[in-house]
């Protein structure tokens, strides 16, 4: 009998419950990871991904306490009997929010921090630090203050600061959830290079599968604490067939609908597959997107039309430190439109929308909301017409229960108390959060909190709803539900404006897309025109169907193009 190769990381029948929790966060998880493997950890919010990551480096149970059964062995060390410090030489961990893991003030000091804790000699430290800074291309920013670095740079410093300790296992808990697509791509590519060149085990917990599925040697899926799948990415497609929701890249999910084998896992494979399946002629845009509206940008606005939801003319905004965030933007958003603002970090998207409810005031130019000049009108007054949900739902939520949270908004809007009950009931029902009516929002999962925060704005039915990055750090299931709520709200005649990096989400929800860059609107029009005309700011579907059916940007259109749907 041949000797079975033992993994560097062995998790056996692991169950764990946080202190004070009845239900276990991990239930009988068994997993073996061999040296050099890239393991992608998938699952919905609250499925136990973060807990499993923390079990690998000993933070669970040493930092959190709780009840643990089974065992986790890393390079022969039992994580229960070894300390986190001992394990830190073998397991390096990068957390979700780069800001919450930076201890010192400069990139160089941050990278050296772990080595100082290990008590290494200065010469040895210098060698390791310089090597890591050079390999991650951080040498130029070594002396910069952490607060001056972009999110992507901060996350790379975090990676460098664990890599410098020469770990054998790198664990990353949603490291790109706070990054824009370009920074995320850069970060993950470097991670893959480290995995290839150094033979490190990489365990990556992620929601945005499009970004990293093609890097994985193996995929593990968690569902409410149980491991429901562990295998190669290609095996996962077979396992996924017939399941309602699976964490797969959009292009892979598209082909799961059809019959036959050879489901593509990457855009490249998808493109080849499309070329195989689609007859060798270009499909007309109106075949795949018959409902496609005409671009409204060039049309002259008739005088008898009611005032637009938002009208911006010649808007400039310069921040105190001199950054020109918005530079001469002209824009009209009509009532009942569903618009997405896309573009890289710092392109001016958030600055622009903050003018819609008066959080920022124009340096130059004019902003009109439903025909009223926003100048001089208080934010609280503008909020009646334009409700806005910021990037962090935690900052929206103040009350001890969901119901009380919604009542704060209604009281602020002077809504007569006798109609509160009906409004709250409708909103809770629409967002499917009736069961959390009496729950403390802080006790809910990330996706549930996002819905409560959205409810706190939707409850008073603002004519214009602005959402800033609503899909950051949320799983696919939550995104699908959010898309459905927003479409419903829009269909009731409300204007919805979405600021997002999530192009797939924007394409599924919106009709019109504005691409921003360098403080200006670079492209504005129907989503098909803007996305199909962009190389990078477009969906996986469009990338696959380019040259065959250029108008394809959504899943439905892609299915139609393949002839899967009638």
Q: Applying CB under 8 A, which of residues 254, 397, 516, 530 lies at the interface with another protein?
A: 397
User: Which residues in 204-223 contact another protein (CB under 8 A)?
Assistant: none
Taking CB under 8 A as the criterion, which residues in 446-475 touch another protein? Answer: 456-457, 460
Rule CB under 8 A: which of 479-498 touch another protein?
none
Spatial distance between the Cα atoms of 533 and 524, rounded to a whole number of angstroms: 11
Instruction: Kindly identify the residues of this chain, within the stretch 243-282, that bind another protein according to CB under 8 A.
Output: none
Cα 303 to Cα 151, 307, 335, 371, 385: the distances in Å are 45, 9, 15, 13, 22
Helix (H, G, I), strand (E, B) or coil at 269: helix
Q: Which of 8, 17, 112, 548 binds another protein (CB under 8 A)?
A: 112
CB of 403 to another protein, least distance (A): 15
Is residue 565 within the footprint of another protein (CB under 8 A)?
Answer: no
Among 77, 413, 439, 484, which residue interacts with another protein (rule: CB under 8 A)? 413
Tell whether residue 21 is a contact of another protein (CB under 8 A).
no
Number of residues that bind another protein (CB under 8 A): 77
Q: Given the complex with another protein, which of 88 and 554 has the nearer CB atom?
A: 88
Q: Which of 182, 359, 439, 564 binds another protein (CB under 8 A)?
A: 359
77 is written with which tokens?
């060390």
Piece in contact with another protein (CB under 8 A), picked from 71-79, 91-99, 184-192, 234-242? 91-99
Would you say how long the chain is, in residues?
Answer: 566
Angle between helices 420-430 and 446-458 (to 10 degrees): 140
Residues 154-183 close enough to bind another protein by CB under 8 A: 161-162, 165
Near another protein by CB under 8 A: residue from 78, 148, 196, 429: 148
Helix (H, G, I), strand (E, B) or coil at 145: strand
442: CB partners within 8 A, 6+ apart: 394, 397, 449
Taken in order 528, 532, 534, 535, is the CA torsion positive or negative? Answer: positive
Rounded to whole angstroms, the Cα distance separating 296 from 334 reads: 10
Query: Within 289-308, which residues bind another protein (CB under 8 A)?
Result: none
444 φ, ψ to 5°? -90, 165
CB atoms < 10 A from the CB of 302, how many? 6
Which residue stretch of 7-15, 123-131, 224-232, 288-296 sits at the interface with another protein (rule: CB under 8 A)? 123-131
Rounded to whole angstroms, the Cα distance separating 108 from 161 reads 9
CB 538 to another protein: min, Å: 30
Instruction: Using the rule CB under 8 A, give the single segment among 284-292, 309-317, 407-415, 517-525 that binds another protein.
Output: 407-415
Closer by beta carbon to another protein, 265 or else 458:
458
Q: Binding to another protein by residue 131, rule CB under 8 A?
A: no
Smallest CA-to-CA distance from 98 within 177, 160, 151, 164 is with 151
Residue range at the interface with another protein (CB under 8 A); choices 18-26, 93-101, 503-511, 515-523: 93-101
Q: What sign does the dihedral 397-399-401-407 (CA atoms) show?
A: negative
Question: Which of 2, 19, 119, 306 is in the footprint of another protein by CB under 8 A?
Answer: 119
ω into residue 61 within 30 of 0, thus cis?
yes
Told to check if 389 binds another protein by CB under 8 A, we report yes
Q: Which is nearer to another protein, 27 or 354 (CB)?
A: 354
Q: How far apart are CA 243 and CA 420, in angstroms?
A: 39
């Amino acid at each position: 009998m041949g000797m079975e190769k033992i993994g560097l990381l062995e998790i056996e029948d692991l169950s764990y419950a946080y202190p004070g929790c009845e239900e276990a966060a991990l239930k009988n998880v068994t997993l073996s990871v061999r040296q050099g493997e890239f393991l992608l950890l998938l699952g919905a919010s609250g499925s136990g991904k973060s807990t499993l990551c923390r079990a690998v480096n000993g933070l669970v149970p040493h930092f959190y306490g709780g009840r643990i059964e089974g065992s986790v062995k890393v390079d022969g060390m039992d994580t229960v009997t070894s300390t986190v410090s001992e394990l830190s030489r073998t397991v390096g961990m990068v957390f979700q929010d780069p800001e919450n893991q930076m201890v010192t003030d400069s990139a160089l000091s941050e990278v050296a921090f772990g080595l100082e804790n290990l008590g290494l000699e200065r010469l040895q430290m210098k060698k390791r630090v310089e090597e890591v800074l050079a390999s991650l291309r951080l040498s130029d920013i070594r002396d910069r203050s952490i607060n001056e670095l972009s999110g992507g740079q901060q996350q790379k410093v975090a990676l460098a600061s664990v890599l410098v300790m020469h770990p054998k296992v790198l664990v990353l808990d949603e490291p790109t959830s706070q990054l824009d697509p370009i920074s995320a791509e850069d970060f993950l590519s470097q991670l893959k290079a480290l995995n290839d060149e150094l033979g490190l085990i990489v365990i990556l917990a992620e929601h945005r599968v499009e970004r990293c599925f093609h890097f994985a040697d193996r995929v593990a899926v968690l569902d409410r604490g149980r491991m429901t799948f562990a295998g190669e990415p290609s095996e996962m497609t077979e396992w996924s067939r017939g399941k309602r929701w699976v964490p797969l890249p959009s292009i892979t999910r598209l082909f799961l609908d059809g019959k036959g084998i050879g489901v593509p896992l990457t855009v490249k494979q998808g493109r080849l597959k499309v070329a195989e399946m689609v007859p060798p002629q270009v499909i007309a845009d109106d075949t795949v997107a018959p409902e496609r509206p005409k671009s409204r940008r060039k049309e002259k606005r008739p005088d008898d039309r009611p005032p637009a939801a938002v009208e911006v003319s010649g808007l400039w905004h310069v921040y105190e430190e001199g950054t020109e965030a918005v530079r001469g933007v002209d824009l009209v958003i009509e009532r009942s439109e569903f618009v997405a603002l896309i573009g890289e970090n710092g392109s001016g998207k958030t600055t622009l929308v903050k003018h819609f409810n008066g959080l920022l005031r124009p340096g130059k130019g004019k902003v009109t909301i439903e025909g009223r000049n926003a100048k001089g009108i208080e934010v609280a007054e503008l909020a009646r017409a334009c409700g806005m949900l910021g990037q962090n739902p935690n900052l929206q939520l103040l009350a001890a229960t969901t119901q009380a949270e919604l009542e704060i908004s209604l009281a602020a809007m002077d809504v007569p108390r006798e109609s509160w009950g009906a409004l709250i009931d409708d909103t809770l029902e629409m967002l499917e959060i009736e069961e959390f009516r009496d729950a403390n929002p802080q006790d809910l999962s990330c996706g549930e909190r996002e819905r409560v925060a959205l409810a706190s704005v939707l409850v008073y039915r603002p004519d214009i709803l602005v959402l800033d990055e609503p899909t950051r750090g949320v799983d696919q299931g939550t995104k699908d539900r959010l898309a459905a709520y927003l479409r419903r709200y829009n269909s009731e005649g409300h204007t919805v404006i979405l600021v997002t990096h999530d192009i797939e989400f924007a394409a599924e929800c919106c009709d019109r897309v504005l691409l921003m860059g360098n403080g200006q609107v670079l492209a504005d029009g129907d989503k098909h025109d803007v996305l199909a005309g962009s190389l990078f700011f477009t969906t996986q579907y469009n990338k696959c169907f380019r040259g065959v059916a250029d108008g394809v940007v959504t899943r439905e259109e892609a299915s139609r193009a393949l002839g899967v749907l009638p």
